[in-house]
């Protein structure tokens, strides 16, 4: 199982969790990632791991991307060259291109690639990397049906659908009032109405829309003194311009002192943030699935999310979440205010969320991967 990073991102969590679930079903799994010296995976895992060390190169961004692919390919070469793996499965375009190079050299046989979503890259190297990683693999998988449809329509690629999942032991509500009080005290939340988002500040996450919605919430629920926590942000890309726009918009809206940009945290701290918050906001404009929304549901949080087609595969407005038009800060703020003022609504959404979570275990995701691998292997054998 190949992933481009050891940092806390949805695709990396997916790679680790699927690998762990496959190992739990009796398979021998090794997760490989590109890492700088001294780095390790953001959380511990019981499965075997290998890190390919990469020294960041100087120079233009495109040259750095190509250097990462080169480093990954050469790090994979001795690991994969002995033919000991039946499946080589890449979770992103960087690791896929490294594996595809080795396939084209004859070092390995086939390459499987999960396309979580298609990014709107402007970098020529990443545009080429992404396109090859969609068109060239021997088997393409997606974690949501809308992306299966898009790959067929936009690229002519017939992808198979697999599943995402959530660990209900890690992401859970507070066991009792004492644990919740301790979590809130540890984060210095006091009695404030606390809105959580996970994913950092970047255009795709709808960060400016989130600020607009939060400003509306503060106007509509002043008695609750709302606080916004922005957790996460580990990424390959430089979003400093968006971060500056975020800070400027917060100042313009007069909410700067009520927004905490927390950044990346340990797995234990992430779980604590979920348990301590009152609601979860997820105003993304594009996602492959929306794994953190599933984590929020598992933690017992009412969710307000964008009305994206991928979210509609597991979220239903008024049943297990509130959905608002992407980019509409006013609608987002009104939805958050409804949660602040309507306990019955919150309870209904939380109960609906529990039913969703029950259908999204990682073991079911591993079983879906097994089916995809077996069908692919049978088709290859039949074609010989």
Helix (H, G, I), strand (E, B) or coil at 309: coil
Of the pLDDT bands very low, low, confident and very high (cuts 50, 70, 90), residue 83 is confident
Rounded Cα distance, 94 and 57, in Å: 16
171 domain residue, yes or no: no
159 and 259 belong to one structural domain? no
C-alpha 301/C-alpha 347 separation (Å) is 9
Predicted confidence (pLDDT) at residue 301 exceeds the cutoff of 90 = yes
Q: Are residues 140 and 227 in the same domain?
A: no
The pLDDT of residue 234 is 62
Identify whether 152 is part of a domain: yes
91 or 61: which carries more pLDDT confidence? 91
Q: Are residues 159 and 275 in the same domain?
A: no
Residue of 260, 256, 344 lying closest to 302 (CA atoms) = 344
In a domain, 60, yes or no: yes
Residues 345 and 368 in one domain: no
Q: Are residues 134 and 276 in the same domain?
A: no
Nearest Cα neighbor of 177 from 169, 188, 168, 185 is 185
Domain assignment of residue 170, yes or no: no
Residues 130 and 185 placed together within one structural domain of the fold: no
> Would 148 be classed as within a structural domain?
yes
Is the pLDDT score of 120 beyond 90? no
Q: Specify burial of residue 136 (Cβ count, 10 A radius: 0-12, 13-18, 19+).
A: middle
For residue 270, the surrounding DSSP H or E stretch is: helix 267-276
CB 147 within 8 A of CB 310: yes
Q: How many domains does the chain have?
A: 2
d(CA 93, CA 88): 14
Does residue 384 surpass a pLDDT of 60? no
Give me the CATH number covering residue 295: 3.40.50.2000
| Shared domain check, 18 and 161 | yes
Q: What is the CA radius of gyration of the chain?
A: 21
Q: Are residues 143 and 259 in the same domain?
A: no
Residue pointed to by tokens 């929304």: 293
Mean model confidence pLDDT for the chain: 95
| 60 and 153 belong to one structural domain | yes
- By C-alpha distance, which of 337, 305, 333, 340 is closest to 215? 333
Percent of the chain with pLDDT over 90: 87
| Residue 26 φ/ψ region, left for φ over 0, alpha for ψ in the -120 to 50 degree band, beta for the rest | left
Closest CA to 282 of 323, 241, 250, 223: 323
In a domain, 383, yes or no: no
Say whether both 350 and 367 belong to one domain: no
For residue 168, give both structure tokens. 């209900």
The answer to whether position 130 is within a domain reads yes
d(CA 314, CA 323): 12
pLDDT digit string, tens, across residues 33-46: 999 999 999 999 99
Whether the predicted pLDDT of 56 surpasses 90: no
Q: Which of 348, 339, 353 is nearest to 300 (CA)?
A: 353
Output the DSSP codes for 9-59: -HHHHHHHHHHHHHHHTT---EEEEEE-TT---SS--SSEEEEEE--PPPS
Residue 237 reports pLDDT greater than 70? no
Query: Parallel, antiparallel, or unpaired: how do β-strands 160-161 and 139-142 relate?
Result: parallel
pLDDT at residue 251, rounded to an integer: 97
237 and 115, same structural domain?
no
User: pLDDT band at residue 382, thresholds of 50, 70 and 90?
Assistant: low
Residues 267, 228: contact at Cβ < 8 Å? no
Q: Please give the pLDDT value at position 235.
A: 66
Alpha carbon 267 to its chain centroid, in Å, reads: 14
- Asked whether residue 54 carries a pLDDT value surpassing 70, the answer given is yes
* Tokens read off for 236: 């390959």
Range of the domain at 371: 2-165+362-378
252-281: pLDDT as tens digits: 999 999 999 999 999 999 999 999 999 999
Residues 233 and 370 in one domain: no
Q: How confident is the model at residue 379 (pLDDT cuts 50, 70, 90)?
A: confident
For residue 187, tell me if it sits in a domain.
Answer: yes
């Amino acid at each position: 199982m190949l992933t481009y990073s050891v940092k806390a991102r949805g695709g990396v969590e997916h790679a680790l969790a699927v690998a762990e679930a496959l190992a739990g079903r009796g398979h021998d799994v090794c997760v490989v990632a590109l890492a700088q010296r001294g780095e390790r995976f953001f959380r511990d895992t019981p499965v075997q791991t290998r890190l390919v060390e990469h020294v960041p190169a100087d120079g233009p961004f495109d040259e750095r991307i190509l250097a990462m692919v080169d480093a990954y390919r050469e790090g994979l070469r001795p690991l994969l060259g002995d033919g000991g793996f039946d499946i080589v499965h890449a979770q992103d375009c960087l690791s896929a291109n490294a594996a595809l190079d080795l396939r084209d050299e004859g070092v390995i046989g086939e390459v499987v690639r999960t396309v979580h979503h298609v990014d709107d890259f402007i970098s020529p190297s990443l545009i080429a990397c992404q396109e090859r990683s969609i068109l060239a693999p021997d088997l393409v998988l997606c974690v949501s049906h809308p992306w299966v449809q898009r790959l067929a329509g936009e690229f002519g690629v017939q992808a198979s659908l697999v599943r995402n999942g959530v660990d209900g032991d890690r992401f859970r509500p507070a066991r009792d009032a004492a644990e919740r009080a301790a979590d809130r005290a540890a984060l210095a939340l006091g009695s404030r109405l606390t809105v959580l988002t996970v994913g950092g500040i970047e255009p795709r996450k709808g960060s400016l829309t989130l600020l607009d919605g939060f400003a509306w919430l503060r106007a509509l629920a002043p008695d609750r003194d709302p606080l916004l926590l922005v957790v996460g942000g580990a990424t390959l890309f430089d979003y400093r311009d968006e971060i500056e726009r975020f800070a400027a918009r917060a100042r313009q809206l007069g909410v700067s002192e009520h927004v905490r940009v927390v950044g990346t945290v340990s797995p234990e701290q992430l779980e604590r943030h979920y348990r301590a918050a009152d609601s979860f906001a997820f105003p993304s404009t594009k996602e492959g699935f929306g794994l953190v929304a599933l984590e929020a549901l598992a933690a017992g949080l009412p969710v307000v999310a964008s009305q994206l087609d991928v979210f509609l595969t597991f979220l239903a407005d008024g049943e297990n979440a509130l959905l608002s038009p992407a980019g509409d800060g006013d609608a987002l703020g009104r939805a958050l205010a409804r949660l602040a003022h309507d306990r019955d609504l919150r309870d209904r959404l939380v109960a609906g969320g529990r039913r969703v979570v029950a259908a999204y275990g990682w073991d079911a995701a591993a079983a879906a991967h097994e089916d995809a691998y077996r069908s692919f292997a049978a088709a290859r054998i039949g074609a010989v």
